Copies of this chain bind each other. A is one copy, B any other.
């Protein structure tokens, strides 16, 4: 069976379903004929935004809930065959200011969801949104799953604990689960109202607004980037493939690109924005991890996944999206809080 066919009529739950990756994944799923339940807290500072489900709102079920609310989650997991577990607090800076909130969302809530599956729905399959942040500053490149886990902030620690819970519940309790360690995902529907959730969405917003993009140092550090449709495809493949159970997988871009080249390409594609090179702020240099790019061959071998959208094309689509819809992403007040 093709992995797309797997989802026809399938009951699927997405935590963080009104967020960036969750809503793009939901669009694919409704097109594949899945029965989709979106769970999202819609906390204004986070990534959930009902504008993200415009056009599919009548083909999904939305349940506003916070993954920290155990009894609610315990109820909601019961009817899902596949759970895409994407809800999270993704700001590193916030995790250092308020580590306990990050712990509740990224660590304890993951344990709650898995306990709920163990008790109420052990046949569920759970795909967790992990992160390349768990590796910290890499010892060698490209980074494989054999690289030491060495998170550099509280968010990274809680994310890795959340990931490990999934593996243990797979191994010990038979709740099938795996984790995708995502690198820099970009594309339509990403939070861009502040710069605390990754630099690429922020850079795209600045380009669209014809503003100055600052690069620290010479911008030679390398990163890899995955267009959100490719990320959604990775989740679909992982959810359908029992070969993934109990494993972690890097999901990274086709090739590394320097910050400098990324910004030049972005400005060229957008036709707006400009770049300025500025000295490293000391506090940023202290926590910079240098170059990072992932080796995704383990995931490719397990599922046949390949990133298909080239960076230039993905940036063009993203710029076009925000050019049309930027006001819906600029601040919590502009964010739609009732279904469109």
Q: Report A's interface with B, CB cutoff 8 A.
A: 96, 99-100, 103, 107-108, 111, 115, 146, 148-154, 156-158, 160-161, 164-165, 167-168, 171-172, 287
Determine whether the beta carbon of A111 is less than 8 Å from that of B168.
Answer: no
A83 to B16, CA, bound (A): 39
Counting from the closest, the 7 A-B pairs by CB-CB distance are A161-B161, A157-B164, A149-B149, A157-B161, A99-B111, A151-B164, A153-B168
25 contacts between A and B (CB under 8 A): A99-B111, A99-B115, A100-B108, A100-B111, A103-B111, A107-B107, A107-B161, A111-B154, A148-B149, A150-B167, A151-B164, A151-B168, A152-B168, A152-B171, A153-B168, A153-B172, A154-B168, A157-B161, A157-B164, A157-B165, A157-B168, A160-B161, A160-B164, A161-B161, A172-B287
Measured between beta carbons, the chain B residues less than 8 angstroms from A148 are 146, 148-149
Q: Which residues of B contact A146 (CB under 8 A)?
A: 148
Task: Tell me the nearest residue of chain B to A171, going by C-beta.
Answer: B152
| Number of copies of chain A assembled together | 2
Q: How far is the CA of A158 from the CA of B172 in the complex (A)?
A: 16
Nearest CB in chain B: distance from A163 CB, A: 9
* Nearest B residue to A100, CB-CB: B111
Q: Chain B residues near A108: list those with CB within 8 A.
A: 100, 103, 108
Instruction: Apart from A96-B172, A156-B164, list 6 A-B contacts with CB within 8 A.
Output: A148-B149, A152-B172, A154-B168, A157-B161, A157-B165, A157-B168
A234 to B99, CA, bound (A): 30
CB <8 Å contact, A165 and B154: yes
- Bound-state CA distance A69–B154 (Å) is 20
A107 to B96: give the CA distance in the assembly, Å.
Answer: 16
- Whole-angstrom distance from the CB of A223 to the nearest CB of chain B? 22
B contact residues around A103 at 8 Å (CB): 107-108, 111
A96 and B168 CA atoms in complex are apart in Å by 10
Q: Please report the C-alpha to C-alpha distance between residue A111 and residue B153 in the assembled complex, in whole angstroms.
A: 12
